[in-house]
Structure 1
Amino acid sequence: MCGRIAVLASPDATSAFLGLDDLESFPPRYNVAPTQPILVVTAGPQRPPGSNRSDRMALLARWGLIPAWTKNPADMPLLINARSETAIEKASFKTAMRHRRALIPVSGFYEWKKLPGNRRQPYWLRPRKGGLVALAGLMETWSEPGGSEIDTAAILTTGASADIMHIHDRMPVVIQPEDFARWLDCRTQEPRDVARLMRPAQPDFFEQIPVSELVNKVANTGPEIQARVEPLPEAAPERAAKPKPEKQKPDDDQMTLF
């Protein structure tokens, strides 16, 4: 699963990484949550030979895909992730999987490890070499009854790599730079042609940093939420036994019923 991301790179670095024309300025975002806007890159119109313009385009989309056929989004679950193993078969994702594959640039993502005692330890997972990574995404444009359109997106997930399995059994699909063009090419590359790209990242690709519960609150958006902390102990804390109330002895001077 992937439920929070962060985007810390500058617009220039993001443009260079994804082969885009210049992006508008945007601030670092340390705690991006579902339903918030995320940067999505798709294949744009084909450029004539010799053009120095990028054939990719970037836009902001709501994180939480709404299929085009949806009548009322309130009746749908929040589709922030799509399982890569079954996306082409699911009604919610199969059209986007065939026609609207996308790249979602991030500096890393957050995941929560379940611990005994109903506790969860948050982790910040970022590329060990630093910089950006491109997550595999799907995009869909939903038309409201009034006629306005909303661009929406979901992140594809796969089974976790061996080193991340102890935190969670799923992770986002990472598309390597040499595969960007192939992944975005929905004209000649069908889902079966890009299936091998939807695999776990290499072990040790991501650094795993235990962080505090500050990240749990969407309102916390500063760099302090990524500060390393000592992880919570794996064992559940022992609960102190409640002392048994002492039986009161009757007063010698007081009469008792028994």
Structure 2
Amino acid sequence: MCGRYSLTSRLDALLPRLRGPLPEGLEHHYSPRPLIRPGEPLLIQRLEQGSPQVDLALWGLLPAWVRDPRGLARPINARSETVAEKPSFRAAWRHRRCLIPADAFLEKGFRIARLDAAPFWLAGVWERWLGADGEQLDSCCVLTTEPNALIAPIHGRMPVVIPEAAEAPWLEAADGAGRRRLLSLLEPWDPAGWQRLPLDQPQLALPMP
């Protein structure tokens, strides 16, 4: 699973990748986040009514059909192998895929990042929950897949990473055939150009919960 990640890139390094209007106040309040946990707001890239938009969503998916969210467990990950079938995820998979910018993810005492330290996209799905009183909550979760050779020694799952140039097809609305064409993006990604470093190295040490 992917339960911790970081986004320490400066906003000016992210802006060339982001499309559409930014959340109000983001440019003034954005700051690097070396440790992002479930339940916290995540920066996401998505389509809203066909237009690209950058927004915030809580990490932990709340399905739109839930009547009372109090005390409900909110999944932070969805298995790519079953995302199209599970009731909690299938509507989001069909209509509400998103991209989550990150520059590392943390697993079992290791920090996994690109060798060039560039940010990358985690694959996600998002939902919008509307309460009876008009309350609105956007939430999301990260898709996971089988581990590659880099991750397998430390964990049985890893996050799906969407490669550059595949952002548009990932976000666009698609019929059944179109969604099937996305399945190749859910397979384990090539570990070439990535590194796995222990968190106990002084320059990489991050606070753990």
> How far is 1:132 from its partner?
0.5
Q: Is 1:31 the counterpart of 2:35 in the alignment? A: yes
* Structure 2 partner of 1:197: 185
- For the 8 Å contact 1:98–1:190, the answer to whether it is kept is no
Partner residue in 1 for 2:149: 162
How many residue pairs are counted as aligned between the two chains?
200
**Which amino acid in structure 2 is aligned with residue 15 of structure 1?**
L
Corresponding residue of 1:15 = 15
For 1:81 and 1:90, the matched residues in 2 are separated by 12
Instruction: Return the alpha-carbon distance in structure 2 between the equivalents of residues 190 and 73 of structure 1.
Output: 32
Identity of aligned residues (%): 35
Higher relative contact order (CA 8 A, sep 6+): 2
Residues 44 and 147 from structure 1, CA distance in 2 versus in 1: closer, same or farther, beyond 3 angstroms? Answer: closer
Alpha-carbon distance in 1 for matches of 2:206, 2:100: 24
Q: Could you tell me how far apart the structure 2 residues matched to 1:187 and 1:78 are?
A: 26
User: 1:3 maps to what in 2?
Assistant: 3
Q: For 2:129 and 2:49, how far apart are their aligned partners in 1?
A: 20
Read off the aligned partner of 2:167 and give its amino acid letter: F
Aligned position for 2:207: 215
Q: Is 2:144 the counterpart of 1:152?
A: no
- Name the CA distance, whole Å, in 2 between partners of 1:94 and 1:190: 15
Residue 94 (structure 1) aligned with residue 90 (structure 2): yes
* Runs of at least 5 residues in structure 2 that lack an aligned partner in the other structure: none
Tell me, yes or no, if the aligned pair for 1:79 and 1:154 is still in contact at 8 Å. yes
Contact 2:18 2:54 in 1 (8 A): no
CA distance in 2, matches of 1:3, 1:145: 31
2:92/2:125 contact within 8 Å kept: yes
- Answer whether contact 1:65 1:79 (CA < 8 A) is retained: yes
Deviations, residues 151-176 of structure 1 (Å, cap 9, x unaligned): 00000000010121001111100001
Q: Deviations over 1:23-47 (max 9, x none)?
A: 732000011100000001102444x
TM-score by length of 1: 0.72
Which residue does the alignment assign to 2:73? 77
State the secondary structure of the residue aligned to 2:65.
Answer: coil
Structure 1: gaps spanning 5 or more residues: 47-54, 113-121, 218-258
Q: Matched residues in 1 for 2:95 and 2:137: separation?
A: 17
